[in-house]
Every structure is written in structure tokens, then in C-alpha cells.
Amino acid sequence: MTALATPDTRPDIDFDDPVDPVARRFAQGDESALREAYERHGSLVYSICRRSLDDAGAADVTQETFIAAWRNHARYIPERGSLAAWLTSIARNKLIDHFRSTQREERRIERVKHARSPDPRELEAAALRMLLVDAIDELAERPRMIVSMAFFDDLTHVEIAERTDIPLGTVKSDLRRSLARLRHTLEYTDD
Amino acid sequence: MTDEFDDLLEADLRHFSGIAGQIAAEDRVRHEPPAIVWEAISVDATAPGAVVDITRARRRRRSPGRRNGLRLAAAAAAVIAVVVGTSLFTRQDPTLVATATNRDLPEQFDGELTATTRNQVDQVGLALDFSASLPTAEPIEIWLLRPDLSDMVSLGVIDDTVGWVPVPDDIDLSEFSVVDVSLEPDDGDPTHSGRSILRGSLVSI
């Protein structure tokens, strides 16, 4: 049993700007980044859409999302949040637009009642959960374990350090960095 | 100061715990879009407006009860990647592994990196396993290099929390086969600093 090291209270250099290269190039209008962004985030966007729409509808909205995102690439500011968060916010708006426009069209033709447009707040909550699933999956083993203990076992960082023999300073550092990364991945601040 | 830090940390934790606590099986399901979606996006990227017209035309022809033309034209059905358990990762065939060691700057980092190819749904990437905590005084960047060092691509800035990085789709891992980790000054210069702390080649296992 190793003795606990002195908690490291020296602040790490704060790289709270975990911007990925694809996001930067996307914002700059580098066309290769469009392909990479689609490879990276296409399934997530499509899967969000598939929660409310069938294959064809989801394909339509996914296409509209990436087209709109690309046309507005200069509006995406990587420091404000991940490309995934920005794309999913566009997708959510396109989903709502899609329901509005199909209902208008089909109401005119058939006067049939259709399923209500998804609640925007529920759409946002679902997108956050899906982004969080991805983000936790991408964490390294030790921070993923620590984050899981905090999230799913409801332990404080002190309790985690006690139960794992990981130095308190390391637990706090892992948590701080992981949470910064999660915040960047999940949120895009519009301002 | 420590108490204030702890309070902020706990507040952040509660915020994300709240979201995590709601995660359900449906949140882990990922579908791959059909090939036609990318085709339409890339057409529009080169000729903005063209695809939008096609989509509108399809909608006008569609009548109630019939499938959207988009679906009939799809070359391949969407593949459903339903995930059982907690991980979105799938095995890749062949699996490549690099053991990157420190030859140049051993005083900077006393450990190794095991990088293993691993896909997340349809995205190629490298799972990263460092044997020791990474230094935190400077940014650390991970790269793929050609063995003759004639070309390289950055996979991004990383720290101890990063367990996986995506690899761009157009990068051939048999050509960009060297994994490199470097210390990078935060000077806005995107090129490799030359200060490698780890390097190793991807080999098939």
C-alpha cells in the first residue's frame, strides 16, 4: 500500500481550450474539414434525427444540418464549444422546422393529424445525453473511472480519493480537466 | 481558495451528474446515415443551392403514403450500430498498435504510450493508454508522421483525460504509421516543435 503523496495544489497550466484541429479548420472554411466533421459527427446528428423521424426524414434533416453548418462555417467559433454541440443545435432547429413544414404540407393535402413536433427542451436534453455518452467514452481510463464514480455512484472527490487510493490532488485534477472537456463538448455558448 | 475551488468543482459535478443520471439505452444508439446523405452534402458544398432544389422537387412529387424519393435512391441501407453495454467502441480489423517510447527527452516524461486503433461507430481513431501522468507545464500534442518525416498530421492537443482521438478518414495508417507525442509551446505555430517525448510505429497485431 503506497503512502498518499502530498496533494498537489499547484495549479496546472489551464488548457481549458481543448479545441480539436477539425473544428478549427471547419471554422476557417477548409473543405477537407467538412468531410471530417461529417465522418466524425454524421452518425450522431443522424441518430438524433432518427429519434423523431424515419430513415428518409432523418436523412433529409441530417443533410440540411450539414449544408447549413457549412454555409455558416464562419459563424462557428471553436472557443465557444465543440463542433458537435454546434452541429446538434443546428440539427435541433432543422428538426423543428421539418415538422412544421411537413405538417403544413400534409395538412393541406390530407388533413391528417400527425405526431406533434418534438418538444425543443426534450430535444436539447436528449442531445446533451448523447453528447455526454460520447464524451465519457473518449476519456482515458482513470478519469473515466473517477467521473463514473462521481456521476453514477454520487461520490465526492474526497470519497473517490479515499476509496481508490488515488491522491486527492490527482482526483481533483482529473475531475477538473474532465469536466472542462465535458463542458466544451456538450455546450456551445451563443453569445 | 481551496474551498472555493471545491465548491465550483462540486457545482460542476452536480450539473453533469444530473444529465448523466438521465442517460438511457436509447441515448447510446447510433445509426450510420445512408451514403446518399454525404453525396448530397458534398454536391451542395461545391454548388450551393443545387441540392436544395432537388430536395424541394422530391417533396413536390411525394404523395401521402409513398416513400420519399431519397429513400428509394439510397445506395445502401443505413447501418444500425446498436450498442449493448457501456462502450461505443468496436473492434477494428486489422488492429494496429504502437508502443511509443521516450528517446529524446527522458527527463520530460518517464512513461510510454500504447496507441491502439479503435473505431467509434464509423469513425477511425486511436485509443491512448499512457503508463504515467503526462507533464502539465506545456501543451502536449499527438501526431501521425510518415516514417521518413516528410509529412505529418496533428490529431490534436491532449492531456491525461483523453482516452481516444479520431483519425481523419483520408489518412492511411500504413503510410502515416508513426505515432508521435510532442511538447508544444503555446505560440500559435501549428507546426511540430521538434520536441518529441514519445514516438513509436504502428504494427499489426
Say which residue the cell 505560440 belongs to: B187
Determine the Cα–Cα distance for residues B3 and B15; give it in Å rounded to an integer. 18
Q: In B, residues 11-30, which contact A (CB 8 Å cutoff)?
A: 12-13, 16-17, 19-24, 26-30
Residues of B in contact with A13 (CB under 8 A): 136-139
**pLDDT for position A5:** 36
- Interchain contact A68–B (C-beta under 8 A): no
Using the beta-carbon criterion (under 8 Å), do B161 and A125 form an inter-chain contact?
Answer: no
**pLDDT for position B193:** 84
Residue B108, all three cell numbers: 520530460
- Interchain contact A57–B (C-beta under 8 A): yes
Using the beta-carbon criterion (under 8 Å), do A70 and B34 form an inter-chain contact?
Answer: no
Using the beta-carbon criterion (under 8 Å), do B168 and A58 form an inter-chain contact?
Answer: no
Q: Which residue of A has its CA nearest to B143?
A: A21
**pLDDT for position A58:** 95
Residues of B in contact with A184 (CB under 8 A): none
**pLDDT for position B58:** 38
Q: If you ran DSSP here, which 8-state letter would residue A159 be given?
A: H
- Residue B116, SS3 per DSSP: strand
**pLDDT for position B188:** 73
Residue B69, all three cell numbers: 424519393
**pLDDT for position B72:** 29
Determine the Cα–Cα distance for residues A36 and B169; give it in Å rounded to an integer. 7
Q: If you ran DSSP here, which 8-state letter would residue A171 be given?
A: H
Low-confidence stretches of chain A (pLDDT < 70) are 1-18, 106-116, 191
Q: How many interface pairs between A and B have CB atoms less than 8 angstroms apart?
A: 206
CB atoms within 10 A of CB A57: 19
- Interchain contact A126–B (C-beta under 8 A): yes
ipTM of the complex: 0.84
* Average pLDDT value for chain A: 86
Determine the Cα–Cα distance for residues A57 and B130; give it in Å rounded to an integer. 43
Using the beta-carbon criterion (under 8 Å), do B9 and A22 form an inter-chain contact?
Answer: no
Using the beta-carbon criterion (under 8 Å), do A140 and B48 form an inter-chain contact?
Answer: no
- pLDDT tens, residue order, chain B (205 aa): 466 777 888 888 899 999 999 999 999 999 999 999 999 999 988 876 554 444 443 333 333 322 333 332 233 334 444 443 445 566 556 789 999 998 888 888 889 999 999 988 778 899 999 999 898 888 899 999 999 999 999 999 999 899 999 998 889 999 999 999 999 887 777 788 889 999 999 998 8
